[in-house]
Chains A and B, each alone.
Chain A
Amino acid sequence: KQEVTQIPAALSVPEGENLVLNCSFTDSAIYNLQWFRQDPGKGLTSLLLIQSSQREQTSGRLNASLDKSSGRSTLYIAASQPGDSATYLCAHQGGSEKLVFGKGTKLTVNP
């Protein structure tokens, strides 16, 4: 059974810090990996999608990498801002329609 683990579960940093969120998955058969942001009481917003043939994707201050051999993905956030405070979720898609989600990392960026 595919499992997706996110570490840490929660993270609190001062504004301006660079930070890394980690995601690991057990199924090496990967189609793509997605990172989402979820604000309290809201739905999910897609941030980055990495296809299995790619190593990384970048959008603004966000960079996501994928290492299939080790079953890991990281989300790097540069120069964090209070508006980045949210829960960040990663989701693994194998050969089926189904995405398997991690529990998320709750990020707090303090002014």
Chain B
Amino acid sequence: EADIYQTPRYLVIGTGKKITLECSQTMGHDKMYWYQQDPGMELHLIHYSYGVNSTEKGDLSSESTVSRIRTEHFPLTLESARPSHTSQYLCASREGGANVLTFGAGSRLTVL
């Protein structure tokens, strides 16, 4: 049973809207990650955080931003959504010294 929760699971919105994808974990993990995955393709790291007030950009350039004000919460925001942002966004976390990643169920975003 995953202890990392993503909302919304599915979202269809129009171009230009601001959206926030929520990610929360109840495990007290220090490290949290956002991945982007297109159908049939690899996961690409877009943001990660080592802990509160820490955010880093990943390998894949993204117009999204993240924040980490609380340990358990790592929201991702798109200020102005475009059709090119249509994808699945996966949040993950892990304990600082351990290596196993726990993933949420994902948020599937469609921008019309």
Contacts and interface: CB of A to CB of B under 8 A. Distances in A.
> Interface SS of chain B: helix, strand, loop or mixed?
loop
Given A89-B43, A101-B43, A102-B42, A46 B102 contact: yes
A93 interface: yes
A97 B90 contact: no
Contacts of A103: 40-42
A98 B59 contact: yes
A86 interface: no
Contacts, number: 55
B75 interface: no
A92 B45 CA distance: 13
Interface in A58-94: 89, 91, 93
A97 B59 CA distance: 11
A46 B101 contact: yes
B74 interface: no
Nearest to A2: B59
State which size class the interface on A falls in. 20 to 34
A70 to B, nearest CB: 22
28 contacts: A31-B99, A34-B99, A34-B100, A36-B101, A41-B106, A42-B106, A43-B6, A43-B105, A44-B43, A44-B90, A44-B92, A44-B103, A46-B102, A46-B103, A49-B100, A89-B43, A97-B48, A97-B50, A97-B56, A98-B48, A99-B43, A99-B45, A99-B101, A101-B42, A102-B42, A103-B40, A103-B41, A103-B42
Given A89-B43, A91-B43, 9 more contacts: A31-B99, A32-B99, A34-B101, A43-B92, A46-B101, A97-B48, A98-B58, A101-B42, A103-B40
